[in-house]
Structure 1
Amino acid sequence: MKVTIAVVGSTAFCQRAEAMTLPKDISINCYRYKHPTEAPSLLQKLKPCHAILFSGSLPYEAAEKVVQKLSIPSFYLQQNENTIAVTLLYLASEKNLSIHELSIDSKDSTHIEHVLRDMDHLSVMGKPAIHELATTSDLQAVVNFHLAHYRSGRTKMAVTSVHAVYDQLEAAEIPAFRMIDPVSNITRSLEHAAQQAQLQRSEATKIAVGLLKVHLPDSFNHEIVEQLASHLHAQSMQEEDIFQLYTTLGTIEFALQTEQFTQLIHSLSPIASLAFGCGQTIVEARENAASALELERKSDSHGVFMLDEKKQLHGPLPTVIPAVAMKLEDPDLLDISSKTSLSPAVISKLIQFNHFRQASSFTANDLASYLEVSRRTAERTIKKLIDQELIKTVGEEMTYAQGRPRALYQLHLPIY
């Protein structure tokens, strides 16, 4: 499966990434910023993808609170000794600059120390001026560090890891150089992100069973079972006072991020209890769900618990505030609604569907099932989105039954 990675970085970094020859199973979409603090707002514009790679630690740290709410893995390109060595080699060979003539800012100064130790024959020439970037680094302080060393005559060149710092130094007419991110480092980071995305997708398809035990039958509304099955895209079965819901781990994790589902499960107590189990087989998953239900009964904590295939208990769930909600007041959502003549509620559901699919293609039947509408209604919705270039056809799916192959689509709506 081809993996799509969102690359969040400066214009220069994105241009470098786009010019690379990528592994055949990886594609990238770049989101450019002028300053690392813009990273959180860029995440709100993400199109379907499987992972996110930030160009460095500063944009990652700026967006960390947002990243924690996302259902896809996120990483940042880390500097290492290779980054420092390649940069120093270039400056020595092409700019004829000695190490002691440089001021350098870096996330981890130990990388510079390691390279200098390996180049001990140059130690007699002195070390560069080093500024270590902190999590809450004031970029103006970094600029001032380089300015002070250059204007005092102690250095001839500022080497920076932050593109926004480079731009300010250039504007001040201070000789500056951006740290070189070796192509090998970028490639390895993209490959690592792709591997983690594949692993997460594999985990998400694991079999999961939910057990809903009714304690007060006279007060129990059976419509709750249908609502739970709808949120979990599950098949339900009843055995006496217990309802079984068959689904996948990924579907449960997504449902727990939605406000509607969490409100529903909170409404169960004390009438009923819900627990989940995961496993390599349905039998194992059901046994783990039964164990989770029993452990929940004995626990002082109230909520939903899950026992995974490693017999590890998780809960009470959800552990974070739901990130996916029906935001009918969002101006971008309202704008899409106006262009497509679809209601804000339908657009919001489409964004949730986009989030749930995570860049996977889908058929009209898939969309109809999620929206709980007829296939004809789903096809009309797709047509309206195609007219506004918010959806595109990406292939066809052959069916075992007779008839024409079904079109495969991919949404191009922001997923977060």
Structure 2
Amino acid sequence: MKVTIALIGSQEFCRQARSIVLPHNIRIDYYQYDKPSDAPRLLKTMKPCHAILFSGSLPYEASKQALQTISIPAFYVQQNEHTIAVTLLYLASEKNMAIHDISIDIKELAHIEQILQDLGPLSSIQKPAIHELQANTDLQTVVNFHMEHVKSGKSKLAVTSVHAVYDQLQAAGIPSFRMLDPASNILRAIKHAVQQADFARNEATKIAVGVLQVHQPEKLPQGTIEKLANYLQAQWKEKEGSFFFYTTLGTIEFVFALKAFVEFCESLQSASTLSFGLGLTALEASDNAINALQLSKQTDNKGVFMLDEHKKLHGPLPATKPSIAMRLDDPDLLTISKKTTLSPAVISKLTLFDEFRQSTPFTANDLAGYLAVSRRTAERTIKKLMDQQFVVSVGEEMAYSQGRPRALYKMKFTI
């Protein structure tokens, strides 16, 4: 299956990444910024993908808060000794530039110190002027560092790891050079992102079982079981006064990022206890869910707990504050709502449905189950979206050896 990576970087970095020949199972979507602080804004325009790769630590650090609302793995291309050594070798061989004649900004001071140490005793080598980049580095501070050293004659060339700094130095007429990004480093980072995306998808398919133990049935709102099953996209059965829900770890992680689901779970606490278990089989997962119920009674905290396949207890869930809410006032959502005549609430649910399925094709039955509506209602919703090209038909599937094939659809909008 093809893995899609969202690559967020400067124009020059994206240009270089485009020149790399990739394996056929990897697709890159490029998002270019003018300065690293623009990266969080680009996340809002990102199409569905399996992992995010930033060109460096600065755009990644700038996006940390925004990444808390995104469930897919995110990484950045790390600067290492290889990156710095290749750059210094190029300057020495092609520009006849001595190490002590440059000013340089880098992420890890230890990297260049290791290179200098490999060249000989540190006491015998004239060091360059070095500025160590921090997570909250102000770019103007980096620009000023280089300008001061070049203008004072302390260095002849400014070597920077930040493309936005390079652009400012060039505009100011300061001799400058961009740190080289070896293609091997970029490719290694892309492959690592693919591996982690595959790992995350494999983890998401783990069998999970939820157990709802009801203490006071009279306090449980009508339709609770069906609503919980719909959230978890689960099959359920009743056994000895408890309800078992069969789902996956990925679904549990997704729904606990929903503010509405967390509030729903909190509303059940007075009448019931909910827990989850993971396992290699449904039976093992069920046993772990029951054990999680017992273990949760021994803790001082109230809430939902989960026992994994290694007998480790997690909870109360969610581990972080839920970040996905019904975004009914989003301008793009309101535009789609107006064009399709579907309510903003329905459009918001559809975006969550697409995120939940990681943009894989779906049937009318899949959508009906998620929205808790009839298949006919789901088909009418799909038609309205297709009329405005927000959904496209991508094929058919045969559920059984006999009977009519079911149409497959794919979402074509992002909010």
Aligned residue number for residue 206 of structure 1: 206
What is the letter of the counterpart of residue 171 of structure 1? Answer: A
One-letter amino acid matched to 1:4: T
Cα deviation digits, residues 197-219 of structure 1 (max 9, x gap): 11111111111111111111232
SS of equivalent residue, structure 1 residue 267: helix
**One-letter amino acid of the structure 2 residue matched with residue 8 of structure 1:** I
Mapped pair 1:153 → 2:140: no
Indicate yes or no: 2:315 matched with 1:315: yes
Closer, same or farther: CA 11–376 of 1 in aligned 2, 3 Å: farther
Q: Residue in 2 aligned with 1:336?
A: 336
- Partner SS, residue 7 of structure 2: strand
Instruction: Give the C-alpha shift of residue 44 in structure 1.
Output: 1.5
TM (norm. structure 2) is: 0.95
Higher relative contact order (CA 8 A, sep 6+): 1
What residue in structure 2 maps to residue 35 of structure 1?
A: 35
- Supply the distance in 2 between the matched residues of 1:351 and 1:272 (Cα, whole angstroms): 31
Q: SS at the partner of 1:173?
A: coil
**How far off is 1:393 after superposition?**
4.4
Query: How do residues 224-263 of structure 1 correspond to structure 2 at under 5 angstroms?
Result: 224-263=224-263
Residues 109 and 391 (structure 1 numbering): CA distance in 2 closer, same or farther, change over 3 Å?
Answer: farther
8 A contact 2:116–2:125 mirrored in 1: no
Distance 1:402 1:409, change over 3 A: same
- Does the alignment pair 1:120 with 2:120? yes
Aligned equivalent of 2:360: 360
Mapped contact 1:354–1:413 kept (Cα < 8 A)? no
Cα displacement string for residues 173-221 of structure 1 (whole angstroms, at most 9, x for unaligned residues): 1111111111111111111111111111111111111111111123223
Hey, what's the Cα distance between the residues in 2 that align with 1:161 and 1:394?
43
Aligned residue for 2:268, secondary structure, equals: coil
Please list the CA deviations of residues 236-274 of structure 1 after superposition, one character each: whole Å capped at 9, or x if unmatched.
111232111111111111111112211111011221111
TM-score, normalised via structure 1 length: 0.94
1:168 counterpart residue number = 168
Query: Would the alpha carbon gap of residues 408 and 186 (structure 1) be closer, same or farther in structure 2, given more than 3 Å must change?
Result: farther
Aligned-pair distance for 1:398?
4.3
Q: Which moved more, 1:119-128 or 1:76-85?
A: 119-128
SS of the residue corresponding to residue 210 of structure 1 reads strand
Report SS of the residue matched to 2:131: strand
Which residue identity is paired with 1:104?
I
Task: Find out whether 1:410 has 2:405 as its counterpart.
Answer: no
- Pair 208,364 (structure 1): closer, same or farther in 2 beyond 3 Å: same
Q: What amino acid is aligned across from residue 350 of structure 2 in structure 1?
A: L
**Superposed displacement of residue 9, structure 1:** 1.0
Distance 1:271 1:122 in 2: 70
Q: Which moved more, 1:306-315 or 1:361-370?
A: 361-370
Return the offset for 1:392: 4.1
Q: Which runs of 4+ in 1 moved over 6 A?
A: none
- 2:84 matches 1:84: yes
Q: How much is the aligned-residue C-alpha RMSD, in angstroms? A: 2.0
SS of match in other structure, 1:300: coil
1:47–1:412 contact (8 Å) kept in structure 2? no
Bigger mean CA deviation after superposition, 107-116 or 203-212: 107-116
- The residue aligned with 2:180 is 180
Deviates more, 1:293-302 or 1:357-366: 357-366
What 5-or-longer segments of structure 1 have no aligned partner? none
* Partners of 2:69 and 2:324 within 8 A in 1: no
- Residue 297 (structure 2) aligns with: 297
With over 3 angstroms needed to count, the CA separation of the structure-2 counterparts of 1:411 and 1:93, relative to structure 1, is farther
In the alignment, the residues of structure 2 paired with residue 266 and residue 366 of structure 1 have an alpha-carbon distance, to the nearest angstrom, of: 27
| SS in structure 1 of the partner of residue 353 of structure 2 | helix
CA contact 2:68–2:323 (8 Å) conserved in 1? no
Question: Following the alignment from structure 2 to structure 1, what is the Cα–Cα distance between the partners of residues 98 and 359?
Answer: 48
**Structure 1 residue 93, shift from structure 2 partner:** 2.3
Question: How far apart are the structure 1 equivalents of 2:308 and 2:166?
Answer: 48
Instruction: Give the aligned residue type for 1:113.
Output: E
Q: Distance in 2 between matches of 1:395 and 1:99?
A: 60
Equivalent positions of 1:17-166 (< 5 A) are 17-120=17-120, 126-166=126-166
Aligned to 1:196: 196
Distance 2:76 2:274 in 1: 38
What is the SS of the residue equivalent to 2:72?
coil
What corresponds to 1:221 in structure 2?
Answer: 221
CA distance in 1, matches of 2:352, 2:134: 36
Kindly indicate whether the alpha-carbon contact (under 8 Å) linking 1:85 and 1:115 is maintained by their aligned counterparts in 2.
Answer: yes
- One-letter code aligned to 2:186: I
Report SS of the residue matched to 2:188: helix
Q: Cα gap change, 1:148/1:393 in structure 2, threshold over 3 Å: closer, same or farther?
A: farther
Q: CA deviation at 1:359?
A: 3.1
66-75 or 282-291: which moved more? 66-75
More displaced 10-residue stretch of structure 1: 117-126 or 145-154: 117-126
For the residue of structure 2 that corresponds to 1:105, the secondary structure is: strand
Paired with 1:215 and 1:246, the residues of 2 have a C-alpha distance of 21
Letter matched to residue 153 of structure 2: G
Structure 2 gaps, min length 5: none
Query: In structure 2, what is the Cα distance between the partners aligned to 1:300 and 1:324?
Result: 28
What's the CA shift for 1:397? 3.3
Q: Distance in 2 between matches of 1:163 and 1:386?
A: 42
Q: Give the Å deviation of 1:350.
A: 1.0
